[in-house]
Structure 1
Amino acid sequence: MAGLAVNVDHIATLRQARGGATAYPDPVHAALLAELGGADGIVVHLREDRRHIQDRDVYLLRKTVQSRLILEMAATDEMISIAADLRPDLVTLVPEKRTELTTEGGLDVRGLAEVTQKAVESLHSAAVPVSLFIDPDAIQIRASADTGADMVEIHTGAFCEASDPGDKKAQFSAITDAAHLAHELGLGVNAGHGLCYNTIGWFAGTRIIDEFSIGHSIVSRAALAGMEKAVREMRNLIKEL
C-alpha cells in the first residue's frame, strides 16, 4: 500500500500572513494532528526566503515527528548545511524561484547534472537519503538515476490541472510510464503536486507509487473539517487504491 506524506507548508503560510509576534497556527501542531490522522510522513519546504516554514519549525519537527520528516529544499550550500545538521529522513531537492507562489515545475536534473550530483553526494555523506522532484520525463528519470539519488518524486501538476479528458489521460500515462522506468532503474517513486481527493482515485490498481505527497488539498479540507479528519479521509482513499 502506498504511503501518504502530508505537507504542512500552508499552515505556516497562514501563520506568517498575520506577521508580528503571532505564533499560530503552528505547523508543528498540525504535523502532530496529521500523524494522528494516519500520515506516514510530514513534508516541509524550507525556502531560501523563509516565506512560510522557518528554521525553528524544522528543528522542532525533527524532535517531534514520530513518522518520517521529509525536507524539501533547493540545492544550495546553505540548505545542504542545514540538512546535514538536521538529518531528516529524506531530502527532496526541488527547483525554487522567489517569484513563484508554489513550486511550478520539476528540477532540470539533466541541465543541472553537476550541481545536482554534488548535492546528492554531500547529503549522502551526511547519511541523508535524497529524492529529486522531476517532471514525468524519461530524460529526467535517467538523469536522476545517474546522480546516485535514491528516489524521484514525480511532478503531478500537469495531470491535476488538465481539464480536457484526452489531455488528462495523456498526462496520467506520462506519470505511469515515468514511474515504471524509475523502478526499472532502481529508484523509489513518490508523486505529488496538486493531488486532491478527486484525482487520487486515478491511481487505483496501478501499484506504482511508493508514497503520495499531498498538502494544499488536505490543508484546505482541514480548514473546514480539522486536520486529523482531513488526513484520515485521504488515507482511507489511498488504502482503497
Structure 2
Amino acid sequence: MSKASPLRLGVNVDHVATLRNARGGARPDPVRAALVAIEAGADGITAHLREDRRHIRDNDMARLKAEISRPLNFEMAATEDMLRISIATKPHAVCLVPERREELTTEGGLDVVGQHNALTPYVARLNDAGIRVSLFIAADTAQIEMAAKLRAPVIEIHTGAWCDAVVNGHLDKAESEWKRIVAGAALACSAGLEVHAGHGLDYATAEKIASLGEIAELNIGYFMMGEALFVGLGETVRVMRAAMERGRKAGG
C-alpha cells in the first residue's frame, strides 16, 4: 500500500442511540447523525448491533442501510441471530467483535486463535453473501496470522490499550503498545490483509496512527460523539479529518 494512499474515516453512531435510549423515545436519531457525519466528510458509518440492543436496534440497522449513501460497517458478535440479521441487511462490511453482556464497551480483541473453529463458518457464510468480513483483533502476531488463514480480507486493530496508556500518561506502556501496532500493521499488510484500526482514538492518537501507511481506515465513535456535544458533529468530523490528513502527510 502506498504511503500516500487516502485514509478513510468511519464514524460510529452507537452512542447517539445510547442517548436516545436513555429516555426511550425516538431522538436523537442515529440515522440523522450518520447523515450529518457523511455530509461533513465521513467515508462510512459503523454501528454495533449488540445482543442486548443496549444502543443500536434492528430498525436502526435497516434504516442506516436504506438511507445512507456511504458504506455501512455492521459490528456484531459471531452468533446465528446476528448472522441472519446481517445477511438480511446486506451491509458493505461486517466486523466480527467479541461481546460480553456485562461489559461497558468492547474490552479486547477477538481471540481468532482460540475460536478458529467457531469463527470459520461465519466468515465463510458472510464471504459467500458478498459481505466484506473484518476481524477486530489485537496487534498480535498469532492473531494476525490466524486472521489471514480464516480468509477474512480485513482486520481492525484494537487500539484501546495504546489510547488508554496515552491518555493516562503511562509513557512506557504507550510506547510498547505503539510498537505492537506498528509491527502488527506491517505484518498484516504483508499477509495481504487490509488493515483498519479503532477503539479509544481521539484527535491526537488518530493523527499519530494516520502516519502508518499500512492502515486504510479508522473507525471512531465515542470520542467524536462527546466532542459533538460542544462543537457539533459536523465540526467534529471536519477536525478529525484534518488531524488524520496531517498524520498521513507526516508519514510520507
What TM-score range do you get, normalising by the shorter chain?
over 0.9
What are the Cα deviations for residues 20-78 of structure 1, in whole angstroms up to 9, with x where unaligned?
Answer: xx110000000000001100010000001100000110000001111110000000001
1:204 is displaced (CA, Å) by 5.0
The two structures have a TM-score, normalised by structure 2, of 0.93
- The runs of 5 or more residues in structure 1 that have no matched partner are none
Q: CA RMSD in A?
A: 0.9
After superposition, the C-alpha distances for 1:3-36 in whole angstroms (9 at most, x for unaligned) are 10000000000000112xx110000000000001
- Dislocated runs of 4+, deviation >6 Å: none
Could you tell me which residue of structure 2 aligns to residue 14 of structure 1? 19
* 2:173 equivalent in structure 1: 167
Counterpart for residue 194 of structure 1: 200
Distance 2:211 2:65 in 1: 34
The residue identity in structure 2 corresponding to 1:83 is S
**Residue 209 in structure 1 maps to residue 215 in structure 2:** yes
Between 1:91-100 and 1:225-234, the stretch displaced more is 225-234
Aligned residues with identical type, % of pairs:
46
Is 1:52 the equivalent of 2:55? Answer: yes
Q: How does 1:24-173 map to 2 (within 5 A)?
A: 24-162=27-165, 163-173=169-179
Q: CA, structure 1 residues 61+177, in 2 after alignment: closer, same or farther (shift >3 Å)?
A: same
Gaps of 5+ in 2: 1-5, 248-252
SS of residue matched to 2:100: coil
Q: Which moved more, 1:146-155 or 1:159-168?
A: 159-168
Secondary structure, aligned partner of 2:86 = helix
On the 8 A contact 2:12/2:47 being kept in 1, the answer is yes
Separation of aligned partners in 2, 1:42 and 1:75:
20
Q: 2:243 aligns with which of 230, 237, 240?
A: 237
SS at the partner of 2:85?
helix
Q: How many angstroms apart in 1 are the aligned matches of 2:173 and 2:74? A: 32
CA distance in 1 between partners of 2:53 and 2:81 (Å): 12
Q: In the aligned structure 2, how far is the partner of 1:205 from the partner of 1:224?
A: 27
Per the alignment, residue 3 of structure 2 pairs with none
Aligned partners of 2:7 and 2:244 also within 8 Å:
yes
CA contact (8 A) 2:207 2:245 kept: no
